[in-house]
Amino acid sequence: MLKGKSVLLGISGGIAAYKAAELVRLLVKEGASVQVVMTANAQRFITPLTLQVLSGQPVCTDLFDLEFESQVGHIQVARAAQLVILAPATANLLGKMAAGIADDFLTTVLLATTAPVLACPSMNAKMYENPFTQRNLEQLRNMGTHVLGPGLGTLARKEEGIGRLPELSEILESAKRILTPQTLRGKRVLVSAGPTWEHFDAVRFISNPSTGRMGYALAAVALRRGAQVDLISGPSPLCPPSGVRFHPVKSAEEMRDAVLEVAPGTDAIVMAAAVSDYRPQQVASHKLKKTGKDLEVLLVKNPDILALLGQSRGASSRPVLVGFAAETENLIENAREKLVKKNLDFIVANDLTQCGSGFACETNQVKILDRSGDITEFPCMAKEEVAVQVFDRIERLLLQETHGE
Ligand code: C5P
C-alpha cells in the first residue's frame, strides 16, 4: 500500500520525536518516499541529520531558506505529498492547525496540502485532557483530519496516563487504511486463523505449527478496505490488527461455536485456520503421570466447521465462502475435492513441501481454484499480498451478486 507513495512526515517538538527516526525507517522499508518536515522545537529533540540519512532526502526546517525555496519550495513539498503523517503531533501543533495558523514550514505546508492528514497526538496527559486540546482535536476531526491515539502508558517523567504516541505499527496500519479505497465499506467479513489446541490432559495438547499469520493478514486487508471484521483465532503469538472484533478460542469445538455465532449476516467468510481434524476423546483434568508404559490416546473426529457453513448456505451465494487447503501431496486433486465437498466459492491451495510456503512463514506460494474449474497460480508472495488477491476475488463475487449476474 505504501510502495511508491510520497509520504510527508511532520515532526513537532515533543519527547516522542525520537521515535520518528524509526518511523522513517519503517516507511522507507515499505517502499514509501519520505519527506521529513521538522518544527524548530522538534530539532531540539532529534537532529535533522539523522532523519535526512534515514529518509535519504533533505529535511525541511526553514520556511525562509533561500536555497531550498528557490530550488523546490514549500508549495511543491505540499503538492507532492500523497499522505501527511504528524508524529508526534504536539498540543501546540494541533492548536495551530485548528486555528489555521501558518507560521513555519510545517504549518504552512499543512494549509497548502490537499493530501489526507494523519495526526498522532503525543503529550502530557493533563495537556491532552485540557479542554482546549480536546476542542482542537474535535474541530480537526470534523474537518477531516484523521486522528490516531494517543495511547495509555508511561509518559515522560515516569507519569502514567493517556498521551503516548501510538505504536509505530499502528501508525503504519492507519496510513495504509487511509490510502486504501474503501471497497468493502458496509460489508461484514469473518476470518478464522491460527491453530487449534486439542488437550488430552491439563497441560498437553495436539496442535500444528500455524502462527495465524495468513489469517491475521487477511483480517488486516479487509479492515483496510473498510469492512467490519470478526477475527476468530486459535492461540497465536500475534497482535490482532486494531479495529478488528477479536474472538480468541482454543479448540476446534470452541472455534465452531464462535464461528456459528458470528456467521449469520456476514458477506464473506474466509477460513484460514489450521483446525485440528481430530481431538482426544478423553481429557484428563490433571497432568498425566509418566508410567513407564506406552500411552494410548484415542482421537475422535472434530467438526468440520467450513463444511458446516457450506451445508447451511446450500444453493445461496451468500456468504461468499473461502477455504484454504494446505497439502503435502496431490495438491490440486485434494483442493478441488474440498472445494466441491465443502460447497466453497474458491479455495486457496498451498503446497507445504514448497520452500517459502505454509506454516510459520512470512510468505506463501498459492494456487486459487474456483467453482468453474479455473486454477490461478501465483508466485511466492508475502502473506499480505496473498490476502490482497483473496479479497480482490471476494469483491468481484460480491459485485456479481449485487448486479444479479
Ligand atoms: O479438510 P481440510 O482440513 O484440509 O480443509 C481445510 C479447510 O477447511 C481450511 O479452510 C480450514 O480452515 C477448514 N477446516 C475447518 N474445520 C476443520 C478442518 C478444516 O473449517 N475441522
Question: What CATH number is attached to the domain comprising 154?
Answer: 3.40.50.1950
Confidence of residue 158 (pLDDT cuts 50, 70, 90): confident
322 phi/psi in degrees, rounded to 5: -125, 135
Q: Ligand 1, atom 19: nearest CA belongs to which residue?
A: 275
Q: Write down the mean pLDDT value for the chain.
A: 94
Closest-CA residue to 141 (of 116, 161, 162): 116
pTM (two decimals): 0.87
Query: Which atom of ligand 1 is found nearest the CA of 270?
Result: 10
Q: Looking at this protein, which amino acid is placed at residue 184?
A: L
Reported as half-sphere exposure (CB side, CA atoms, 13 A), residue 148 has a value of 25
Out of 155-159, 191-195, 282-286, 311-315, least confident range: 155-159
Q: Are residues 264 and 119 in the same domain?
A: no
Q: Are residues 281 and 350 in the same domain?
A: yes
Instruction: Supply the CATH number for residue 276's domain.
Output: 3.40.50.10300
Query: Does ligand 1 come within 6 angstroms of the Cβ of 339?
Result: no
Q: Which pLDDT belongs to residue 355?
A: 65
Q: Which three cell numbers stand for residue 373?
A: 474449474
Confidence of residue 322 (pLDDT cuts 50, 70, 90): very high
Q: Are residues 85 and 195 in the same domain?
A: no
Domain that holds residue 124: 6-179
- Indicate whether 1 belongs to any domain: no
- For 183-221, how does the pLDDT look when each residue is reduced to its tens digit (9 = 90+)? 999 999 999 999 999 999 999 999 999 999 999 999 999
Confidence of residue 74 (pLDDT cuts 50, 70, 90): confident
Give the percent of the chain with pLDDT over 90: 84
Q: Are residues 209 and 168 in the same domain?
A: no
Query: Does ligand 1 come within 6 angstroms of the Cβ of 146?
Result: no
Look at residues 146, 179, 212 and tell me which one is the last residue of a structural domain.
Answer: 179
- The total of structural domains in the chain comes to 2
Query: Which atom of ligand 1 is found nearest the CA of 306?
Result: 20
Q: Are residues 194 and 46 in the same domain?
A: no
Ligand 1 centre from 333 Cα, in Å?
16
Q: Are residues 310 and 291 in the same domain?
A: yes
Q: Are residues 229 and 249 in the same domain?
A: yes
Query: Does ligand 1 come within 6 angstroms of the Cβ of 385?
Result: no
- Indicate whether 17 belongs to any domain: yes
Average pLDDT over residues 158-182: 92
Look at residues 179, 198, 230 and tell me which one is the last residue of a structural domain.
Answer: 179
Q: Are residues 122 and 212 in the same domain?
A: no
Residue 344, classified by CB atoms within 10 Å of its CB into exposed (0-12), middle (13-18) or buried (19+), is buried
Query: Does ligand 1 come within 6 angstroms of the Cβ of 302?
Result: yes
Question: pLDDT at residue 154 above 90?
Answer: no
Average pLDDT over residues 286-298: 93
Question: pLDDT at residue 232 above 90?
Answer: yes
Look at residues 137, 155, 179 and tell me which one is the last residue of a structural domain.
Answer: 179
Q: Are residues 212 and 278 in the same domain?
A: yes
- Indicate whether 349 belongs to any domain: yes
* Three-point CA angle 150, 156, 167, nearest 5°: 35
- Indicate whether 42 belongs to any domain: yes
Q: Ligand 1, atom 21: nearest CA belongs to which residue?
A: 304
- Indicate whether 128 belongs to any domain: yes
- Indicate whether 153 belongs to any domain: yes
Closest-CA residue to 188 (of 348, 339, 401, 398): 398
Q: Give the mutation target among 306, 311, 329, 359 for probing the ligand 1 site: most ligand atoms within 8 A of CB.
A: 306
Q: Which residues contact 352 (CB under 8 A, 6 or more apart)?
A: 326, 327, 328, 358, 359
Q: Which pLDDT belongs to residue 404?
A: 55
Closest-CA residue to 337 (of 315, 365, 304, 361): 304
Q: Which pLDDT belongs to residue 131?
A: 98
Cα separation of the two ends of the chain: 31
Confidence of residue 402 (pLDDT cuts 50, 70, 90): low
- Indicate whether 285 belongs to any domain: yes
Q: Are 9 and 27 in contact (CB under 8 A)?
A: yes
Q: Which residues are catalytic?
A: 208
Question: pLDDT at residue 405 above 60?
Answer: no
- Indicate whether 300 belongs to any domain: yes
Q: Are residues 123 and 18 in the same domain?
A: yes
Q: Are residues 208 and 109 in the same domain?
A: no
Query: Does ligand 1 come within 6 angstroms of the Cβ of 331?
Result: no
Q: Are residues 175 and 194 in the same domain?
A: no
Ligand 1 centre from 247 Cα, in Å?
18
